[in-house]
Amino acid sequence: MAGIKEYVVESIDELKNHVTWPTYAEAQKLTVLVLVFSIIFALAIWGVDTVFSSLIEQYFKWVKS
């Protein structure tokens, strides 16, 4: 049990004294960047999914006829 307590205490010390935290403005800028790329990536996946769904649907219509 002492090992867990020591781990938690050392982790808190590490976070308080040894981590270089970004400024508020930098954190906002990076958050917006992640949001924009997430939206772009989601739209790209949606587009590819739509195209493949359409192709598979057409293939099965062709096979059925």
Q: How far is the CA of 60 from the CAs of 1, 49, 51, 52, 53, in angstroms?
A: 61, 16, 14, 12, 11
Q: For residue 49, give its domain range.
A: 24-65
Distance between CA atoms of residues 4 and 15, nearest Å? 17
In a domain, 58, yes or no: yes
In a domain, 11, yes or no: no
Q: What is the pLDDT of residues 10-51, one digit of tens each?
A: 999 999 999 999 999 999 999 999 999 999 999 999 999 999
Q: Give the predicted TM-score (pTM) of the model.
A: 0.66
In a domain, 17, yes or no: no
- Residue indicated by tokens 């096979």: 63
Q: What is the DSSP letter of 18?
A: T
